[in-house]
Amino acid sequence: MSIKFTDNLIFDIYLKKELINNIDFNNKDDLEQYLKKLFKTLKNKYDIIVEGFYDITVYIDKYYGVVFHLEKEDLDYYDYFKNQVDMRIVTVDTEFMYQVEDIPFDILNKIKVCIIDNDIYLKIKDKLTNLEMMNLIENSKLIFNK
């Protein structure tokens, strides 16, 4: 799991496929229960407190896993949500893209190369090994909402 903060109201949680095998993202009740457990983990392990109202977009990619994009509503009645989480959840099945500086020729047969505005993006078309996936993640910028 990795976490990237845009500011104090917006952040993303990245979970690789191996961490989320048993979750049905189409079942809203199961997803809410999973998120509540995830928020407890964030509090206990990383000292990140999630409370208030959040718009949550769940980007699902069959090769990478999931990115939870959380945007907290900056409400005037903050005390109402003290120690509580309320959420509006939207799930999006998508293909993540990986922005890279150079084309990795060792996995060329497993990816699709796209050039957009002089930037190189990769889409996975066949399953990568764990090592190949790890190398791709380490040498790219993950694009999940394009």
Identify whether the C-beta of residue 70 lies closer than 8 Å to the C-beta of residue 10.
Answer: yes
Residues 14-73 pLDDT 10s: 999 888 878 888 898 889 999 999 999 999 999 999 988 899 999 999 999 999 999 998
Q: Cα–Cα distances in Å, from 28 out to 16, 86, 144?
A: 20, 13, 21
**What's the distance, Cα to Cα, between the start and end of the chain in Å?**
22
Beta partners for residue 16, in sequence order: 65
Measured in whole angstroms, the distance separating CA 7 from the mean position of its chain's CA atoms is 16
What is the average per-residue pLDDT within 79-88?
A: 75
Query: What is the enclosing helix (H) or strand (E) of 34?
Result: helix 28-46
Residues 88-104 pLDDT 10s: 999 999 999 999 999 99
Both tokens of residue 71? Answer: 């945007």
Residue 122: the pLDDT is 98
The residues, ordered by sequence, that sit 6+ positions from 95 with a Cβ below 8 Å of its Cβ are: 61, 123, 124
Residue 146: the pLDDT is 55
